[in-house]
Amino acid sequence: MAKVGFIGLGNMGGPMAVNLVKAGHEVRVFDLSADAMAKVVEVGGQAAGSAESAVVGAEVVVSMLPAGVHVEGLFVSRDKLFSKMTPGTLVIDSSTIDAATAQQVAAKATEFGVTFIDAPVSGGTAGAAAGTLTFIVGGPEEAFNRAKPLLECMGKNIFHAGDVGAGQIAKVCNNMMLGILMAGTAEALNLGIKNGLDPKVLSDIMLKSSGRNWALELYNPVPGVMENVPASRDYQGGFMVDLMVKDLGLALETSIKSQSSTPMGSLARNLFSLHAKQGQGKLDFSSIYQFFKQS
């Protein structure tokens, strides 16, 4: 069993750390929120007083932070955590960040004898709680093989996308598609509802028709259609609109760098961004349905 330092215990990181504890690992956790730490301590995690204290002596460090600026600040420029780690430590960053930051941070890690890999996830908060996440890893083969047994405590599908940064590129492609799918699903359901259809009946019809997709199947955006999804709890928890705006921004940056056309992704980014600007940034991203309902 490994000595693990875990930083960032939000909607995703919290349940992921709980699964590592349940699998028998020795997990020292840190988050800026004491409440977030308490949830992991409750099941047997150890609370660290600082990010530094979470990583000192750890064999593996897992981070699950909002964006690239947090990851860079923590490991490199502000908290300088790489310099506090034992050489040989493996750092697995599961946050969704830009590939360039992941590559720069990974290069910095090597100066301290530390290996940094990107391992963003898909599967949402339900997948994090159930330990069924998909991990998309970018990094050397050897580091991937070392990380895999640990990732299997938190996920079901573990992919090696390529070198450092490749995990983030694959994740950004996936989330651009997710943003488009959720906006399209909400738009179609709203059209049906405005024309007198019952959202549950319409959802059942589309689930057996060619409009079937992940959002419709597992994450229906209309309140009351599905139990245990954010739409049925006032869009609380889940994947925040602000984070979807960030990911669609990453997709846009990636498309500019590679001169790829992403008109659908750009439109989705504008929709979620307008929704966030109307004060809904902290709600789950399926609340885009409310945007269509009101417009």
**Residue 64 contacts residue 20 (beta carbons within 8 Å):** no
List binders of ligand NAD among 140-199 (CB under 6 A). none
Measured CA distances, 16 to 6, 92, 160 (Å) = 9, 13, 19
72 binds ligand NAD (CB under 6 A): no
Stretch that binds ligand NAD, among 63-71, 106-114, 156-164, 228-236 (CB under 6 A): 63-71
**Residue 12 contacts residue 70 (beta carbons within 8 Å):** no
Joined together, the tokens standing for residue 120 give 């963003």
What residues act catalytically? 171
CB nearer ligand NAD, residue 222 or residue 229: 229
DSSP state of 29: E
In angstroms, give the least distance from the CB of 35 to ligand NAD.
9
Site for ligand NAD (CB under 6 A): which residue of 64, 172, 178, 251? 64
**Residue 76 contacts residue 82 (beta carbons within 8 Å):** yes
Site for ligand NAD (CB under 6 A): which residue of 32, 107, 191, 207? 32
**Interface mask (CB under 6 A) for ligand NAD, residues 219-258, using x and -?**
-------------------xx---x---x-----------
**Residue 103 contacts residue 129 (beta carbons within 8 Å):** no
70 binds ligand NAD (CB under 6 A): yes
List binders of ligand NAD among 86-105 (CB under 6 A). 95-96
CB nearer ligand NAD, residue 36 or residue 202: 36
Site size with ligand NAD, rule: CB under 6 A: 28
Q: Which residue blocks in the chain are alpha helix, DSSP H?
A: 13-22, 34-41, 51-55, 68-72, 99-110, 124-130, 141-151, 166-194, 199-207, 214-218, 241-258, 263-275, 288-294
**Contacts with ligand NAD, residue ranges (CB under 6 A):** 7-13, 30-33, 36, 51, 64-66, 70, 74, 95-96, 121-122, 124-125, 238-239, 243, 247
